[in-house]
Structure 1
Amino acid sequence: MITGKINVIEGDITQLSVDAIVNAANTSLLGGGGVDGAIHCAAGPGLLAECRGLNGCETGDAKITQGYNLPADWVIHTVGPVWRDGNHGEDALLASCYYRSLELAKQNNIRNIAFPAISTGAYGFPPERAARIAVGTVKQVLAEKTTIEQVIFVCFSKQSYNHHQQTVQEIITNKE
């Protein structure tokens, strides 16, 4: 049963005491605005130093680092797609962000992981559509044999929280 494994909260992802948080990064992995900037700021200079050695990250892929000064042990950096018009593979790239992040979580024995609403800020992905892709992908991965016990969607705004909460209700709760 997946229902108890997925939670939605409104808050600051940098404050969560979980095994791993996911960073909605840019391709350089060297920090930026939004959640990326907040994570780099909270983690301290060690995160930037480790990211420099990763040689960036492709859109739709993910890489893992230590959490440094964050309450989370790990940071999984993933690069979401910039929304163009929905006809340039954006949905598949966004799904890949969640899938690759969860693959890294499984490989590193991470039991609980927190995601922001990837690509819905400056990258302009429609938030309702992004929530459906996020929740659907997480449901698919959790249905497989996995060590992941909990996935938390951490929403920075009430609007994002509402989209994710409604989507969890529709995709997870009502269909089990």
Structure 2
Amino acid sequence: MPIKIIRQDITKLKVDAIVNTTNPSLDAKGGLDHYIHQFAGKELDVECRRIGNLKVGQACLTSGYKLCKYIIHTASPVWNIQNKNNEALLKSCYLSSLMLANEYKLKSIAFPLISSGTNQFPKELALQVAMNSIVSFLTDHEMMVYLVVYDRNSYKISSELFDSIEAYIDDYYEDEHMLVCNSIIAPRFSLIDALNQMDESFSTMLLRKIDESGMSDVECYKKANIDRKLFSKIRSNPNYKPSKQTVIAFALALELSLDDMEDMLNKAGFSLSHSNKFDIIVEYFVSQGNYNVFEINEALFAFDQSLIGV
């Protein structure tokens, strides 16, 4: 199952487990920890006292009481520029929590961006560690993972990447009126071209491209950030009508050129447009040779665009 980045109150999510970032003594002194304890009720305080202490990077599981099915508590690291283990400890928070969720056969889990608030982890680095840790876990496991950010200030991609994408958008963005005028003079593809596309459906082309790539089905849909059930529907139905985001997800997973991506989009009745910021951002990454769906989703989220593959 895929990763989904969302901007929401984590306590409002309907998931099997919410991850609570806490201190080693589990005493809910403030921040998200205190907030979660308030919603769950006093019974959670009692259970946490019974557990005792955690080492930084470790995780434990309790009932969610009034809040959800389970709460996974992880002792999160405080940023220390002199500590060479900062990233390893933060990674351990994610992996320990995910392994606990897997042990209890949970299907969905929601993480905050651990240590990016009062623990003062650099936000860009906190995001990078979170995504790398979750992606590495999902390579071998099936689970729906939400990465929840409460507001824009708690989420950052690098300013260099943001500025580069913004400049690319400025260079290539066309308003809808201009695009319509241009298309009257020089349409993107003719009726004959469109009819010629009918010899192969999106599903047929996708499965052919997967075979040609040498990837397994599982490798492809996980790289595309696509749910296994959705892929099964596509495989079993030659005439399946996907969303545009789904087509692009698979095109990225297969590392298609922009021309081949357009071909796959046309099979499903779509195309890339310079009047759409989502399309331009995808085009930017492909032009840079970066096909990483998760990194592209980070950028799309930063620009308030729909995400790929979820």
TM class by shorter chain equals 0.7 to 0.9
Q: Counterpart of 2:200?
A: none
Structure number having the greater helix percentage:
2
Contact 2:124 2:156 (C-alpha < 8 Å) held by counterparts: no
Q: Secondary structure at the match of 2:128?
A: helix
Give ranges in structure 2 of 5+ residues lacking alignment: 163-291, 300-310
Which of these two proteins has the greater Rg computed from alpha carbons?
2
| 2:36 is the alignment partner of 1:39 | yes
Aligned residues: 167
Contact 1:8 1:161 (C-alpha < 8 Å) held by counterparts: no
Q: Counterpart of 1:158?
A: 152
State the AA in 1 paired with 2:86.
Answer: E
| 2:118 is the alignment partner of 1:122 | yes
State the AA in 1 paired with 2:87.
Answer: D
Structure number having the greater strand percentage:
1
2: CA distance, partners of 1:168 / 1:38 = 33
| 2:91 is the alignment partner of 1:95 | yes
Residues 84, 161 of structure 1: alpha-carbon distance in 2 compared, 3 angstrom cutoff: closer
Contact 1:136 1:171 (C-alpha < 8 Å) held by counterparts: no
The structure showing larger relative contact order (alpha-carbon pairs under 8 Å, at least 6 residues apart) is: 1
CA RMSD of aligned residues (A): 2.3
Deviation at 1:147, TM superposition (A): 3.9
Q: Secondary structure at the match of 2:106?
A: coil
Residues 119, 168 of structure 1: alpha-carbon distance in 2 compared, 3 angstrom cutoff: farther
2: CA distance, partners of 1:37 / 1:168 = 34
2: CA distance, partners of 1:77 / 1:29 = 8
**Structure 1 segments of 4+ aligned residues over 3 angstroms from their partners:** 166-169, 171-174
Deviation at 1:11, TM superposition (A): 1.5
2: CA distance, partners of 1:26 / 1:90 = 15
2: CA distance, partners of 1:161 / 1:154 = 10
Contact 1:139 1:172 (C-alpha < 8 Å) held by counterparts: no
Q: TM-score, normalised by structure 2?
A: 0.51
Q: Secondary structure at the match of 1:53?
A: helix
Q: TM-score, normalised by structure 1?
A: 0.87
Residues 168, 34 of structure 1: alpha-carbon distance in 2 compared, 3 angstrom cutoff: farther
Deviation at 1:66, TM superposition (A): 0.4
Query: After alignment, is 32-41 or 85-94 more displaced?
Result: 85-94
Deviation at 1:80, TM superposition (A): 1.1
Q: Counterpart of 1:9?
A: 6
Give ranges in structure 1 of 5+ residues lacking alignment: none
Q: Counterpart of 1:74?
A: 70
